[in-house]
Amino acid sequence: MIYIFLDESGDLGFGERSTRWFVIATIITTNFRPIEKAVTKIWCSMSKKYQKHGELHANFHNSSIRRRFVKAISKIENLNIAYVVVNKRNTPHNIKYEHENLYTYATYVLLEKIQSLGIITHDNQVTLCADKRSTNKILNKHFTEYITKLTEKNRDEPIKVELINSSNSKSLQAVDFVSWAIFRKYERNDHELYDLIREQICSEQILYQ
């Protein structure tokens, strides 16, 4: 079984205060236990004031914790990182405001790239784990059905999609920090955390370059 954990950074808005870039990042592994162990170790070392949110999240914590976390991820063996970055300035007008379609399409492009690299093959059993993007069940259903339908075309069996709360998945908390590090590179030209995981990155794409 191959597990793909997915998260995003940035926003899908197109207003003056919106981000320029939108990142969808994945961690790919056949064994998520080392990831869970790393998350647990950092969580247990934190004071209670940093545990009040109930999970590790890049936006909740300071630069010291972020660096510790990303550095811990960089030391995990047999872990690949792949991501796609949406250049929102060049996004076609007809898809700009169809946020769910843009998100799911970018995810599909990323999955296709991962498969083309041979990281997953057409006969692998693959589970894609993503954070629940909305409390709206219709939107969650749309994402699951879209990815399942598209991946049926060139696989022996479609990729299984699981939408779960990140508070219940240490691996989703890990990929949150990964996506944050990648986002900082593009949005702020800040390479500090990105450089820690650079060697684990197997694929990087810019959509609408």
Which candidate, 98, 109, 97, 94, places its Cα nearest to that of 147? 109
> pLDDT higher for 37 or 134?
37
Per-residue pLDDT tens for 119-150? Answer: 998 888 999 999 886 545 656 778 888 888 88
CA–CA separation, 139 vs 100, rounded Å?
7
- What are the Cα distances from residue 65, in Å, to 36, 51, 99, 173, 188? 16, 12, 31, 13, 19
Cut 0.85: pTM above it: yes
List the beta bridge partners of residue 23: 9, 85
Counting the structural domains of the chain, the total is: 1
Segments forming the whole domain that contains residue 185: 2-207
CA–CA separation, 114 vs 108, rounded Å?
10
Average pLDDT over the chain, rounded to an integer: 90
For residue 85, give the CATH number of its domain: 3.30.420.10
